[in-house]
Amino acid sequence: MNRRSFIIRGSLSGIAISLLPNLTMAQEQEFDMMELMGKADIDLYGDGFELRKEAYDAFVDMYNAALKEGIDIEVVSSYRSFDRQVAIFERKYARYTEEGMEPLPAIDKIIEYSTIPGTSRHHWATEIDIIDKNGGKEGDVLVPEKFRPEGPYAKLKAWMDEYANDFGYYLVYTDEPKRRGFKYEPWHYSYAPLSIPMLTTFRKKNIMHYLEKEEFEGLEHFTTGFIKTYITDNILDINPKLL
C-alpha cells in the first residue's frame, strides 16, 4: 500500500497557486499530488464512509457528542476517488449537453456544486457531507432548504454551528453573500487540521499541468483562463478559516 509522500517533486511553470504559510497551523506537511487528486492508495477508516484516521477519530467524538443531544449524524459522502469524480462529472456533462447546452455553459452548470476531477476536496478523505438520520431521507437530502429553521436537518445545523469547530470540523462553502464559486453547502464540513496543510500543498501546484494528462468528457474545453478563474473562485473562495 502506498504511503504519503512528504517530498515536493519540484516546481512547475504555468498556472501555479501561491500561498503564504498559515502561521496558525502547528504542523507543516507536504502531500503528494497523486494523493491530493484521489489517485493514491491510502489508509481509510469508517463504517459506511471513508476518512483518514485523524479525521475519523475526530468525527467519532463529534458523532457521540451530537448523539447525546438527539442528533444522529449520518455521513452520506466522504472520500471520493478520482475515477468516481470523473463518473459524476461525465454524467452531468452528458445530461446537460444532451439537453441542448453548449459545452462551456454545461461545465459552468456542473461547477455550481460539483468539482472538476482531480480538484475535489473529497479526494483528501478529510471531507464529510452530513445529514441527521432522525430527520429522514425523503427525496434529495443535500439541498439547502432542508437545513433551514423549518427543515428536517435544522437541529443538526444549529448544533454544528455551535460545536463542530470544537472537533476540528469547519463548514467549507458558507452562505457569505459575496462568496463566489460553489454554491452554499450547509452539509459539507472539512477536518481542518489535515485539510489546511493539504490545501497549502495543492495551491503550490500547476493544476493545468496535471489535468492536461487526463482524459474525460469536457476536458478539451478547459482553457488557461477558465482554470485560473475556477481556482480563484471555486477552490479558494471558501470559509477563510480553512485557508
- pLDDT 10s digits, 80-137: 999 999 999 999 999 999 999 999 999 999 999 999 999 999 999 999 999 999 999 9
Structure confidence at residue 57 (pLDDT): 98
Which residue has cell 436537518?
A: 153
Q: Pick the more confident residue, 20 or 181.
A: 181
- Using pLDDT thresholds of 50, 70 and 90, give the confidence band for residue 30: confident
Percentage of the chain beyond pLDDT 90 is 88
Residue 212 lies in a domain: yes
Show the domain range for 178. 36-242
Measure CA 36 to chain center: 11
Structure confidence at residue 28 (pLDDT): 61
pLDDT at 170 over 90: yes
Q: Which three cell numbers stand for residue 68?
A: 447525546
Residue 20 lies in a domain: no
Residue 164 lies in a domain: yes
Residue 14 lies in a domain: no
pLDDT tens string 152-162: 999 999 999 99
Please tell me the total count of domains within the chain.
1
Residue 165 lies in a domain: yes
Q: What three-state secondary structure class fits 234?
A: helix
pLDDT tens string 174-201: 999 999 999 999 999 999 999 999 999 9
Assign residue 217 the CATH number of its domain.
Answer: 3.30.1380.10
Using alpha carbons, select from 70, 37, 7 the residue that is nearest to residue 216: 37
Residue 31 lies in a domain: no
Mean pLDDT, range 1-5, rounded to an integer? 34
User: Bridge-partner residues for 170, per DSSP?
Assistant: 190
Mean pLDDT, range 215-235, rounded to an integer? 95
